[in-house]
């Protein structure tokens, strides 16, 4: 089932909200990721492509929308990034299909407002290897933002941190995404 309020505007408009390279640098770290990365709900691949340039493993990009996956595949080919594996998948209904402990990093960006965030986080916890990292980014609620889900369902950083802990992660740390992503907060946690 597609998560609530998870539709996307035109790509140019969406991309303008972020400095995606800076966000990926801040959330994945300055060293290349040593292992595989998975992105839940990759959308246009705004963060998939920067992540693929920063890992020596495979970036699995999952989305329920075939058009989004087609777009990511085209960009991966155009940018000669053979380490992107993009697939149409409903990870709410069927999980990621990835092996337990197979990922060094999982990215969940602009998605934790969906109906069952802890279930999604538990799936991330299952597939991330011990010592691996989860990164989360979402729209801020404390300032006006040009887009984002309604404030009634938009998660606060402390809610996300609570859910992340409930799913089994620890060492939950806030990541400052300014100035590149002024409308977003970030956090990372360790499996």
Ligand X SMILES: C[S@@+](CC[C@H](N)C(=O)[O-])C[C@H]1O[C@@H](n2cnc3c(N)ncnc32)[C@H](O)[C@@H]1O
Q: Identify whether the C-beta of residue 26 lies closer than 8 Å to the C-beta of residue 175.
A: yes
Residue 89 CB, nearest approach to ligand X (Å): 6
Q: Identify whether the C-beta of residue 138 lies closer than 8 Å to the C-beta of residue 117.
A: no
- Nearer Cβ to ligand X (131/151): 151
Residue 8 near ligand X by CB under 6 A: yes
Residues 11-70 within binding reach of ligand X (CB under 6 A): 41-43, 46-47, 62-65, 68
Distance CA 85, CA 123 (A): 18
- Nearer Cβ to ligand X (41/155): 41
Residue 92 near ligand X by CB under 6 A: yes
Residue 90 near ligand X by CB under 6 A: yes
Q: Which of 26, 109, 139, 161 binds ligand X (CB under 6 A)?
A: 109
Q: Are strands 128-139 and 184-190 parallel, antiparallel or unpaired?
A: antiparallel
Residue 17 CB, nearest approach to ligand X (Å): 9
Residue 6 near ligand X by CB under 6 A: yes
Distances in whole angstroms, Cα of residue 174 to Cα of each of 20, 132, 135: 17, 17, 10
Residue 91 near ligand X by CB under 6 A: yes
- Nearer Cβ to ligand X (74/131): 74
Q: Which among 78-86, 106-114, 150-158, 166-174 is the span making contact with ligand X, rule CB under 6 A?
A: 106-114
Angle in degrees, 0-180, between the axes of helices 117-127 and 157-166, rounded to the nearest 10: 50
Distance CA 58, CA 144 (A): 36
Q: Identify whether the C-beta of residue 46 lies closer than 8 Å to the C-beta of residue 69.
A: no
**Residue count at the site for ligand X (CB under 6 A)?**
22
Residue 130 CB, nearest approach to ligand X (Å): 25
Distance CA 48, CA 2 (A): 20
The tokens for 70 are 């087609």
Q: Identify whether the C-beta of residue 71 lies closer than 8 Å to the C-beta of residue 88.
A: no
Residue 65 CB, nearest approach to ligand X (Å): 4
Contact residues toward ligand X (CB under 6 A) are 1-3, 6, 8, 41-43, 46-47, 62-65, 68, 89-92, 109-111
């Amino acid at each position: 089932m597609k998560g609530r309020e998870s539709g996307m505007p035109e790509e140019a408009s969406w991309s303008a909200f972020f400095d995606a390279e800076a966000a990926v640098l801040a959330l994945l770290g300055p060293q290349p990721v040593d292992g595989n990365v998975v992105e839940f709900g990759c959308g246009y691949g705004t963060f998939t492509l920067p992540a693929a340039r920063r890992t020596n493993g495979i970036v699995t990009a999952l989305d329920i929308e075939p058009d989004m996956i087609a777009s990511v595949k085209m960009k991966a080919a155009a940018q000669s990034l053979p380490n992107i594996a993009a697939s149409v998948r409903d990870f709410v209904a069927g999980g990621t299909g990835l092996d337990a402990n197979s990922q060094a990093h999982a990215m969940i960006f602009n998605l934790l407002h969906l109906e069952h965030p802890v279930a999604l986080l538990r799936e991330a916890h299952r597939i991330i290897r011990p010592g691996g990292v989860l990164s989360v980014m979402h729209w801020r609620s404390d300032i006006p933002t040009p887009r984002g889900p309604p404030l009634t369902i938009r998660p606060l950083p402390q809610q996300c941190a609570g859910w992340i802990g409930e799913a089994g992660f620890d060492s939950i740390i806030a990541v400052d995404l300014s100035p590149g992503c002024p409308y977003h907060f970030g956090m990372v946690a360790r499996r």
